[in-house]
Chain A
Amino acid sequence: GAGVSQSPSNKVTEKGKDVELRCDPISGHTALYWYRQSLGQGLEFLIYFQGNSAPDKSGLPSDRFSAERTGGSVSTLTIQRTQQEDSAVYLCASSLFQDTQYFGPGTRLTVL
């Protein structure tokens, strides 16, 4: 597609359940990034991928969070045993080498 796409656009889940968020980057973009946007915390970096490897996972808030990328394309962010403080908008971005990051529309996660 023309831009970064993310699914689902909205996800409501119960505390303790696992969720998977998906990101489809712009075709040909080798770098993929996950960020989180929440009230009071602003925009926080979570993890980035170069190809299928993740050189920087420094932003993952706990071991309940994990992410993978396959085929140098689609990425999945998994949150296990969700907590209410995980409620946020999860943003994905992709870029070419040393280039601007382009963001998807985000997934709004609500943990009840």
Chain B
Amino acid sequence: GDSVTQMEGPVTLSEEAFLTINCTYTATGYPSLFWYVQYPGEGLQLLLKATKADDKGSNKGFEATYRKETTSFHLEKGSVQVSDSAVYFCALRRGTSYDKVIFGPGTSLSVIP
């Protein structure tokens, strides 16, 4: 079945460091791909998305490119801040009209000053 794999962490970085969180997926067809973020004590928020191959999603300095050839959707940010400390979830949704989101296990990120 469809699935998402991502590095589980925890990941600890110093402020202004470069961030990469790897995400790969297994799915039939052409899923939409998402990164969701969960800040401490808060609910899930959509961070960015891409709906077709080679699309790049971006938001708040984060980027991820939909790579169908490698079935990947790695999250990157050039310079992290303390406020980026959160859990990041890679996810997919199959390209049908209504469908559940399948989440990866989440990656905990801590950014230290």
Interface residues of A (CB under 8 A from B): 31, 33, 35, 42-43, 45, 48, 50, 55-56, 59, 91, 93, 95, 97-98, 100-106
Contacts of B83 in A (CB 8 A): none
Q: How many cross-chain pairs have Cβ atoms below 8 Å apart between A and B? A: 46
7 contacting pairs across A/B (C-beta < 8 A): A33-B100, A48-B99, A91-B44, A100-B34, A100-B49, A101-B93, A105-B42
Mark the stretch among B12-20, B22-30, B63-71, B102-110 that contacts chain A: B102-110
Q: In the complex, A88 Cα to B11 Cα: how many Å?
A: 24
Q: In the complex, A91 Cα to B36 Cα: how many Å?
A: 13
**Contacting residue for B97 out of A98, A104, A105, A106, CB 8 A:** A98
Q: In the complex, A55 Cα to B99 Cα: how many Å?
A: 10
Per the CB 8 Å criterion, the residue count for chain B at the interface is 21
Q: In the complex, A101 Cα to B34 Cα: how many Å?
A: 10
- A50-B43 contact given A42-B105, A43-B89, A43-B103, CB 8 Å threshold: no
- A102-B100 contact given A42-B105, A42-B106, A43-B89, CB 8 Å threshold: no
